[in-house]
């Protein structure tokens, strides 16, 4: 059975208050902001077991999601760095149980960052150009955790320098900008046609003058 995304689970959480020790006041954070503060912990945990067995990662996320939820609450109450360390320790212990491997918190941090970097490079439009980006299921889930589109689809457009589907607002803006250009083109075409007519008239006049001169010459020769 497919596990629900972490954001879907976290949406059930109420607004959380963080006490800032220096300013001694309360700041309200919604669910998404709470997730954003622990992105470094949750973004790339699939790296711990490597690229081979991603189903294990999905199962681990589902099993410890409730613990992570409570851990997020704890993060938003205590200092951020201490909370991240506790959350990383929790993740490390859970992965050690599931994978039966000896993994340290430092290794988890490094693997998370590596996984995040690899996925960012794969979905970077500056490096992929017009190539179609195909993502595996675990990569789609990881993008969801990273607060990106769940299933980005990129298609190759002939003659295009970038890929992706344009937004409706962008298309409307292009249409509005294309109207004055059309009027300008019409003016240029009308001006060019007028110039052609003038050239034709000038040529006709010069031809008539030449014919008249020839007739005069013939008449003079005939009289002579």
Structural domain includes residue 160: no
Cα separation, 110 vs 185, whole angstroms: 58
Cβ count within 10 A of residue 38: 21
Last residue of a domain, one of 99, 127, 155: 127
Average pLDDT over residues 209-224: 60
Structural domain includes residue 137? no
Give the mean pLDDT of 72-99. 68
pLDDT tens, residue by residue, 192-215: 666 665 666 665 666 667 666 666
In a domain, 153, yes or no: no
90 and 41, same structural domain? Answer: yes
Find the domain containing 111 and state its range: 6-127
Looking at the domain assignment, is residue 141 inside a domain? no
CB 147 within 8 A of CB 35: yes
Residues 175 and 102 in one domain: no
Label residue 111 by pLDDT band (50, 70, 90). confident
Same domain, 63 and 173: no
Phi, psi for residue 115 in degrees, rounded to 5: -65, -45
Q: Are residue 110 and residue 180 in the same domain, yes or no?
A: no
| Domains: count for the chain | 2
Taking each helix axis from N to C end, the angle separating 137-145 and 105-122, rounded to the nearest 10 degrees, works out to 100
Is 186 within a domain? Answer: yes
Within this chain, do residues 34 and 107 fall inside the same structural domain, yes or no? yes
* Separation of alpha carbons 74 and 68, rounded Å: 10
Do residues 123 and 184 share a domain? no
Averaged pLDDT for residues 159-186: 52
Within-domain flag for 82: yes
Give the whole-number percent of the chain exceeding pLDDT 70: 25
Within 8 A by CB and 6+ apart from 42, the residues are: 6, 35, 68, 145
pLDDT band at 96 (very low <50, low <70, confident <90, very high): confident
| CA distance linking residue 36 with residue 80, whole number of Å | 12
pTM exceeds 0.85 for this model: no
Same domain? 22 vs 113: yes
Residue 18 lies in a domain: yes
Asked if residue 103 and residue 205 are part of one domain, the reply reads no
Which band of pLDDT confidence, cut at 50, 70 and 90, is reported for residue 39?
A: very low
Looking at the domain assignment, is residue 174 inside a domain? yes
Look at residues 106, 127, 148 and tell me which one is the last residue of a structural domain. Answer: 127
- Which one of 127, 155, 187 terminates a domain? 127
Q: What is the pLDDT of residue 110?
A: 81
């Amino acid at each position: 059975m497919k596990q629900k995304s972490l954001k879907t689970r976290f949406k059930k959480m109420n607004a959380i208050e963080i006490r800032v020790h220096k300013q001694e006041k309360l700041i309200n954070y919604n669910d998404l902001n709470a997730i954003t503060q622990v992105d470094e912990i949750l973004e790339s945990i699939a790296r711990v077991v490597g690229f081979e067995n991603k189903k294990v990662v999905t199962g681990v996320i589902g099993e410890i999601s409730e613990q992570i939820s409570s851990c997020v609450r704890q993060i938003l109450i205590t200092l951020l760095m201490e909370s991240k360390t506790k959350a990383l320790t929790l993740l490390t212990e859970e992965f050690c149980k599931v994978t039966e491997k000896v993994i340290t918190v430092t290794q988890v941090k490094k693997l998370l960052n590596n996984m995040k970097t690899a996925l960012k490079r794969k979905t970077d439009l500056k490096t992929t150009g017009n190539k179609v980006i195909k993502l595996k299921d675990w990569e789609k889930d990881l993008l969801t955790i990273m607060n990106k589109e769940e299933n980005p689809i990129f298609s190759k457009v002939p003659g295009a320098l970038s890929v992706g589907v344009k937004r409706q607002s962008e298309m409307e803006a292009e249409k509005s900008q294309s109207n004055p250009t059309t009027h300008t083109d019409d003016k240029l075409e009308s001006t060019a046609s007028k110039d052609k007519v003038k050239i034709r008239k000038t040529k006709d006049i010069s031809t008539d003058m030449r014919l008249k001169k020839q007739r005069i010459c013939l008449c003079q020769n005939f009289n002579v």
